[in-house]
Amino acid sequence: MGKRKFSGLEITLIVLFCLVAIIACVLIGLLASGQSGVKTTGPVEEQYFRGRSTCESSSTITDPETPRFEVPHEHVRSFTESAASKLNYKVDVKPNPFGIMVTRVSNGRVLFDTTIGPLQYADQFLQLSIKLPSSNIYGVGEHVHKQYRHDVNWKTWPMFSRDIGPSGAMHNLHGVQTFFLCLEDSTGASFGVFLMNSNAMVLVKTSKYYLNIRYTLLPYLYTLFYKAHTQGDTVVRPVLHEFYSDEVTWSVDRQFLWGPGLLVSPVLDPGVDVIQAYIPDAVWYEYDTGAKMSVRKQWTDMYLPADKLGLHLRGGYIYPTQQPANTTVASRKNPMGLIIALDDNSAASGHLFWDDGESTGFTIALNM
């Protein structure tokens, strides 16, 4: 029996199969060794500025052979001061595969671990695979999220900042968010990671009536911005920031708070006048009528016709107000007032920061 000769097509298929097998072996080897499949422009140099404070740690990944322009920032610079003592976090650098591991000192919990996947570092590209202690993750990525708490079921969140207009798919309506927060558990323990880039815009449409409410509450809002500037507090915050021990609030993403006390429950869908709103565990009063809510720590149907917005005041707080005018300069001359919302113990307290709106020398800070 003579030897069978392969046809040209069969030889081509055999060669292609061998090439695919070789490529597959190389990829498996890279994955097993933790080496990146992306060629870097030079050796990667990591700089860790530990001990800037007890609760902050920052790092920079650079290419020492190819200097690049870096956006100047007053708070981003080499750390030359003395390290703080009794740090809240421990930072470890793993050489092979390269990775960063951040551990909370108080309980030994690993908060941030990039060693589960290789670092990919190249021109205009950086990829990190991060293991976190909880699936309660908020922020980061482009506007492709359909809910406040992210769906982390095998999801990849890109930050390409695609230059496209708003669409029904809501691909990139608000640009890139480069900060994320991870809520660890019901004790409120949490941490945030910030990548130095941000481009966010917010567009709000509302009626004249609610604009008047906004300017009536301008002293309250002004005080919130003062605290944001001096203490790093948030002005607009999610419900979970105030009620983190209530696990239901971890996924509430259709309501928000102004500061600690003003709960806003908007209608976000067209043709809807009844929404499901969550009432956290506190005393709440309707802003328009002052009526005390009969429910707490549960979902409730809220009737909100087209001319109404769900606004509720949290008990235990004093809200400074001022009669609104056409401009803030004119409104400063109008009488001021207080809305006092009592809590379960018939007590309330508040804060007020005020100045003349122009100079930096005249300010008033009151605790009420």
Q: What pTM was estimated for this model as a whole?
A: 0.57
Is position 306 within any domain? yes
* Residue 349 confidence (pLDDT): 93
Q: What 3-state DSSP class applies to 293?
A: coil
CA-wise closest residue to 278 among 305, 251, 309? 251
Is position 5 within any domain? no
Is position 24 within any domain? no
- With residue 212 as reference, give the H or E element that holds it: helix 208-216
- What's the number of CA atoms in the CB half-sphere (13 Å) around residue 223? 22
Range of the domain at 149: 45-67+75-194
* Residue 295 confidence (pLDDT): 94
- Assign residue 356 the CATH number of its domain: 2.60.40.1180
306 and 220 in one domain? yes
236 and 172 in one domain? no
Is position 200 within any domain? no
* Residue 145 confidence (pLDDT): 65
Is position 227 within any domain? yes
Q: Compute the C-alpha angle 250/256/259, nearest 5°.
A: 110
In the chain, how many domains are there? 2
187 and 221 in one domain? no
Distance of CA 306 to the CA centre of its chain: 30
Which residues does the chain have with pLDDT short of 50?
A: 1, 31-53, 173, 197-203, 206
Is position 220 within any domain? yes
- Assign residue 59 the CATH number of its domain: 2.60.40.1760
Query: What torsion do the CA atoms of 340, 344, 345, 347 make, to the nearest 10 degrees?
Result: -10
Per DSSP, which regions of 40-82 are E strands? 45-53, 56-62
Last residue of a domain, one of 161, 194, 227: 194
Is position 291 within any domain? yes
239 and 171 in one domain? no
158 and 247 in one domain? no
Strand partners, 149: 138
Looking at residue 252, what DSSP letter applies? -
* Residue 200 confidence (pLDDT): 33
- Asked if 50 contacts 90 with a C-beta cutoff of 8 angstroms, the reply is no
214 and 319 in one domain? yes
What average pLDDT is seen over the chain? Answer: 76
CA-wise closest residue to 336 among 316, 346, 350? 350
Last residue of a domain, one of 127, 161, 194: 194
69-120 pLDDT per residue, tens: 666 666 566 666 676 677 888 888 887 777 888 898 888 999 988 888 777 7
243 and 352 in one domain? yes
* Residue 117 confidence (pLDDT): 76
* Residue 331 confidence (pLDDT): 83
218 and 140 in one domain? no
Last residue of a domain, one of 144, 165, 194: 194
Angle between helices 208-216 and 218-231 (to 10 degrees): 60
79 and 148 in one domain? yes
353 and 229 in one domain? yes
* Residue 297 confidence (pLDDT): 95
251 and 143 in one domain? no
152 and 249 in one domain? no
Strand partners, 324: none
* Residue 362 confidence (pLDDT): 55
Is position 21 within any domain? no
